[in-house]
Structures are given as structure tokens and as C-alpha cells.
Copies of this chain bind each other. A is one copy, B any other.
Amino acid sequence: MPEGNPVRVPDDGLTTRARRNTPVLAVHTGDGKGKSTAAFGMALRAWNAGLRVAVFQFVKSAKWKVGEEAAFGHLGRLHDEHGVGGAVEWHKMGAGWSWTRKAGSEVDHAAAAADGWAEIARRLAAQRHDFYVLDEFTYPLAWGWVDVDEVVEALTARPGHQHVVITGRNAPARLLDAADLVTEMTKVKHPMDAGRKGQKGIEW
């Protein structure tokens, strides 16, 4: 049940306090469910701790994860109106990011993904948020839309105390190497295998 204490103490010259306060770069990968869901669970915990949470959804469809977006909308309003928890921002690529507002549905997904990463890199440099979810970000990396080396460099060099969680299948090896926490979600059994479809409250 408990995750326990560190099995060994590294010879890195850091005090326990400094080491404890090292910000986390986590990757949730694998072909199973729960990669994004666990990231949003972490974001919920971060929100509760008063951290400024920002979610960036690198997805094509604006219809995905509307339930999570709505729930974090409520959490963000609790912060804004009652001072409870942390601030929340939720951005999705959809047909262009909220800060670009490109017209129409004829958006270039590769360019949109690159725009999204460029904005995240600016925010990391500015320490704009405390807890970032880069949801489904492994896909633009895998497809070459965003340069893996540039991402690893920016993440590794990020200033201050910013946590980053990246989700998606087929995470590049260089990203896994740079991560502190890597969890692989493996599908053992899924209702869709038995012909079921997704349902409200469970799948979205």
C-alpha cells in the first residue's frame, strides 16, 4: 500500500529538502486506458495544493475530454471566485488554439501543434504555471511535427519549480530518458473488445 521510502540516497550533493522539491517531469505512455485520466487526477491534486494548473490538449477533435474540461472549469471558478485551490487554464488545439483563433476548420495540424509547443515553451520560460498537462503530446513528437530534442532541452532547462506531465502512446526514448517518472498503462481487457461503446460519465 505505501510507496515507501527511497531505496537509496543518491550522491548528488542535494539535501533531502532540495531533492524533495525537485519539480517532476512525468510521462504516461502505453496502449492502455488511464494515461490522460491519471494526469487529470494528478492535476486535481495539484489544484487542491494551490498550484496553478494548465492543460494543453494536443488533439484534433474539440469533442474529446469535455467532461474533464467542464470539471476543471468548475475548479477554476472555485479558485477565481472563492480563493479555493489553484488557478486553472485549459487550452485545446481543436481547430486552432484559443490564443490564435485561426479561422475555419482548414487548420494545419502540424503547424498548430508547433504553435502549441512554442507557446508552452514561452510559458515555461516565464514560469506562468506550476503544473502543466501536455495531453496527447507524444503524437506530434512521434509524427515529427515538434522536434523532440528541442522539447527535451526546454523541459530539462525549465526554470523554477514547474511540474510537467506528458501523455500519449509511443513516447520517444529521449523523452523517457529525460523524465523522472514514467508509467506505462497496459490494456489487459477493455469493454470495447466486447463490442461495447463508450458511455457518458465513463468515457467522457
Residue A30 at the chain B interface, CB threshold 8 Å: yes
CB distance from A94 to the nearest CB of B (A): 13
In the complex, the answer to whether A183 meets B188 with C-beta atoms within 8 Å is yes
Of A20-28, A98-106, A117-125, A149-157, which stretch is located at the interface?
A20-28
Task: Say whether, besides A24-B191, A194-B10, A201 and B32 are in contact (CB < 8 Å).
Answer: no
Residue A139 at the chain B interface, CB threshold 8 Å: yes
Residue A174 at the chain B interface, CB threshold 8 Å: no
Q: Within 8 Å CB of A51, what residues of B?
A: 201
Task: Say whether, besides A10-B194, A48-B71, A186-B184, A201 and B38 are in contact (CB < 8 Å).
Answer: no
Q: Within 8 Å CB of A3, what residues of B?
A: 33, 192, 198, 203
Q: Within 8 Å CB of A60, what residues of B?
A: 1
Q: Within 8 Å CB of A130, what residues of B?
A: 201
In the complex, the answer to whether A49 meets B37 with C-beta atoms within 8 Å is no
Residue A85 at the chain B interface, CB threshold 8 Å: yes
Q: Within 8 Å CB of A136, what residues of B?
A: 1
Q: A18's closest neighbor in chain B, by CB?
A: B196
Task: Say whether, besides A4-B192, A6-B196, A201 and B45 are in contact (CB < 8 Å).
Answer: yes
> How many copies altogether?
2
In the complex, the answer to whether B198 meets A20 with C-beta atoms within 8 Å is yes
- CB contacts under 8 Å to B, within A122-150, are 130-131, 136, 139
In the complex, the answer to whether A1 meets B59 with C-beta atoms within 8 Å is yes
Q: Within 8 Å CB of A67, what residues of B?
A: 44-45, 48-49
Q: A188's closest neighbor in chain B, by CB?
A: B182
Q: Within 8 Å CB of A70, what residues of B?
A: 48
- CB contacts under 8 Å to B, within A1-51, are 1-10, 12, 16, 19-22, 24, 28, 30, 32-34, 36-42, 44-51
Q: Within 8 Å CB of A84, what residues of B?
A: 74
Shortest Cβ-Cβ A-B pairs, 7 listed: A49-B201, A37-B41, A34-B38, A41-B41, A182-B188, A38-B38, A182-B189
